Structure formats: structure tokens, C-alpha cells
């Protein structure tokens, strides 16, 4: 008998905008994959750097949560200066990114275990879902403008915001999976 593996994404129920429910279902699947890839990591693994000045897995996990809350407060909440600390317990700089050239792992995150990082990700996702749930389908077309540090203005719609959350999360998931692989290889070399 042939085995069939189903790979379907269905919109999460309960969202006024079904399209938002689809993006959230995709984000939830990415979160599942991140948790699966990191499930056996120790605090030492989470703060390991391939070289000084490079991201750690823990810093990337914290960054993913910070960005999700920041962009949600900005786009869906309308406040580009809203703090993330009330949702996450760490501020927008609490991820240690960007890492200064040659710098060690971000000291405030040293010793944090996997439960700490998974909790950050769960809280950010719950905040996103709670904030997005009642947004009308028409809100996807709403346009937002943001002035960049160089003075130029970026214009985007709410649909792009959801896409950006997905691409950002997925990109860092790839980095994390590479770092997990590199860390395991480094441990194996040390054990020989």
C-alpha cells in the first residue's frame, strides 16, 4: 500500500480576513519547524558563535520574536514607536542584533534555556493572532508609509506586512538550521 503524506496549509479559523488566517497558518508551520530544529539545544548551544561577531541561535530566536511584535504594533496598531517589552519582557534591543564586528554572544542572553526562547516566540505569535483576528479583509489593502533613516519613504500595504513577517521568519529559520548543523559538527570535532 502506498503511503500518502499530506502537505496542506489551511487558513486558521476565526480570522475576519481569511487571507490573514492563511498567512498565520504559514507562520505557525514555520514556528513548528523552528521548534523542531532546536528541540534538543542546551543554553551553551543557543549562545554558541561560529566566530566572534556572528549571530547565535538564541539571538536569532529572540530577534524573530522582537520583529514580529514590533511590526505588528507598527502596522496593525499604528504606532511605529511602540515598545515590545510589554509583550515579551525584553525590549527591542534585547536580541543583541546587529552584532558588532568581533563581539561575543550577547551577554544578557547567556544562560537562557530553550524554554525562554520558545516562550518569546509563543508570546509574540499569540500577540500577532490576537491583534490580527478582527481585522477586516479590506485592511489588507491599507497603505502604510515609513520614513527610512536615509530620509526616503517606503510605502507598503498590510498584505506586504504579513508577507514580510513570513519571509523574515523563514529566512532566520534557515540561518538557525545552519547554525544547529555547524554546532553539532563543532561538538563532534571536539569529542574526537
Residue 5's pLDDT band (cuts 50, 70, 90):
confident
Q: Please choose, from the candidates 129, 118, 139, the residue with its C-alpha nearest in 3D space to the C-alpha of residue 165.
A: 129
Q: What is the DSSP string of 30-93?
A: HHHHHHHHHTT--HHHHT--SSTTS--HHHHHHHHHHHHHHHHHHHTT--TT--SHHHHSS-TT
Count of H-run helices and E-run strands, the chain: 6, 2
Q: What is the pLDDT of residue 129?
A: 98
**Is residue 44 left, alpha or beta, with left meaning phi > 0 and alpha meaning psi from -120 to 50?**
alpha
**Is residue 136 left, alpha or beta, with left meaning phi > 0 and alpha meaning psi from -120 to 50?**
beta
CA atoms in the 13 A half-sphere facing the CB of 120: 28
pLDDT for 92 beyond 80: yes
Inter-residue contact 57 to 44 (CB < 8 Å): no
Domains observed in the chain? 18-134+158-191 (1.20.120.450)
pLDDT single digits (tens) 6-37: 888 899 999 999 999 999 999 999 999 999 99
Give whole-number Cα distances, 92 to 29, 61, 105, in Å: 25, 13, 17
Residue 190's pLDDT band (cuts 50, 70, 90):
confident
> Partners of 146 in the beta sheet?
154
**What whole-number percentage of the chain has pLDDT above 90?**
88
Amino acid at each position: 500500500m502506498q503511503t500518502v503524506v499530506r502537505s496542506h496549509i489551511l487558513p486558521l479559523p476565526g480570522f475576519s480576513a481569511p487571507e490573514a488566517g492563511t498567512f498565520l497558518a504559514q507562520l505557525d508551520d514555520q514556528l513548528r519547524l523552528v521548534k523542531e530544529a532546536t528541540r534538543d539545544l542546551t543554553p551553551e548551544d543557543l549562545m554558541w558563535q561560529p566566530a566572534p561577531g556572528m549571530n547565535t541561535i538564541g539571538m536569532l530566536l529572540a530577534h524573530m520574536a522582537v520583529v514580529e511584535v514590533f511590526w505588528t504594533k507598527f502596522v496593525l496598531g499604528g504606532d511605529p514607536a511602540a515598545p515590545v517589552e510589554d509583550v515579551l519582557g525584553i525590549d527591542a534591543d534585547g536580541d543583541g542584533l546587529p552584532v558588532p564586528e568581533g563581539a561575543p554572544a550577547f551577554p544578557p542572553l547567556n544562560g537562557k534555556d530553550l524554554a525562554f526562547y520558545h516562550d518569546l516566540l509563543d508570546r509574540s505569535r499569540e500577540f500577532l493572532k490576537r491583534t490580527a483576528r478582527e481585522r477586516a479583509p479590506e485592511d489588507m489593502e491599507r497603505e502604510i508609509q515609513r520614513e527610512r533613516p536615509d530620509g526616503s519613504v517606503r510605502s507598503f500595504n498590510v498584505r506586504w506586512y504579513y508577507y514580510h513577517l513570513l519571509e523574515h521568519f523563514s529566512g532566520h529559520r534557515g540561518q538557525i538550521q545552519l547554525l544547529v548543523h555547524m554546532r553539532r559538527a563543532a561538538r563532534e570535532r571536539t569529542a574526537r
